[in-house]
Structure 1
């Protein structure tokens, strides 16, 4: 079952107060402020559910996306989630690091994936987009993260032409990506 919010409780046949009583009785788990799931629902990542519930355009990015694609050994402290620049950053209880990406390039390399154990979906950037972003934001993320991910991606048969095509569309990414590719290939 999908995450339930108090304003959607009538659609599930409950009043708001009945939802709160059911949560106190243990029939629903409180994921975050205003987000509930049935207690017998399959296991799911509550951070992903909260991000997807708060913002329908939430997209897993940077270190978190690289970890999902198995391109880094780094374990992120918080879930990295991108939203379009100019959007309101929601208040969350989960360990979510919100990043504002330019509206013009926000959908570049973005796909929707199902959240395991839930009916919700969340966005995820492609490996090429993640690598380009790590080079673009290397001052904040560190220089080694992008190089490590690029090495892993190339070992798996990644196509440099696809990476360069994406990096060319992102500001401050093409030069560093080309330079790293020259060194590694």
Structure 2
């Protein structure tokens, strides 16, 4: 098969998937050096260690999230990142917040900068929503779960951020008190949240 055919296969796969790792080429039997040549010719862009995209994908919404989701499929976006995703905060986080199962190591990613929390198995799985962006599935905690997490990790992000998120989620009718209470029990933060939930009733 001619090299230009290999290049076309890679570009087609990138258009379909949004992002590629060199190992993805094994499935279509294309040498990995094709990615290097396409990158040198500015036909594809390297966005991190072993991660490539089409250059015209610059500036796409949630780009840093798709980068992480491709590299670390078990990561769940949480706290400030999830708040921003759900438009429940005025904060602009400097890092991407992810939740991983207890005992996980911080993923080795050069960019974007990560902040990881470890979560017990039962709490880790609760409230995950899968949303596709740029052909990449993103795992993000839903609005109610995210607000509860903000109270649980108030020492990391600030009680003011948690209170703002609670006000916004109720004002926008994105979560009921029952939903918030459900996740407060799972995350063992009912005593902390009780006075605030009672105040907004």
TM-score (norm 1): 0.90
2:79 to 62, 68, 72: 62
Q: Secondary structure at the match of 2:139?
A: strand
8 A Cα contact 1:105 1:170, kept in partner: yes
Q: Higher helix fraction: Structure 1 or Structure 2?
A: 2
2:66 corresponding residue in structure 1: 49
Moved more, 35-44 or 175-184: 35-44
Q: Which moved more, 1:56-65 or 1:46-55?
A: 46-55
Which segment drifts farther, 28-37 or 85-94?
Answer: 85-94
**For residue 200 of structure 2, what is the aligned residue in structure 1?**
184
The equivalent residue for 2:36 is 20
| Equivalent position of 2:168 in the other structure | 152
Output the TM-score relative to the length of structure 2: 0.83
Shift of 1:18: 1.7
Partner of 2:191: 175
Rg larger in 1 or in 2? 2
Deviations 1:22-46 (A, max 9, x none): 1111111101010011334575333
Q: How many pairs does the alignment contain?
A: 182
**Equivalent residues of 2:170, 2:176 under 8 A apart:** yes
Aligned-partner SS, 2:198: helix
Aligned-pair CA distance for 1:88 = 2.8
For residue 106 of structure 1, give the secondary structure of its aligned residue in structure 2: helix
SS at match of 1:51: helix
Q: Which residues of structure 2 form unaligned runs of 5+?
A: 1-15
Gaps of 5+ in 1: none
Q: Does 1:132 align with 2:134?
A: no
Alpha carbon RMSD of aligned pairs, Å?
1.7
Residue 109 of structure 1 is matched in structure 2 by 127
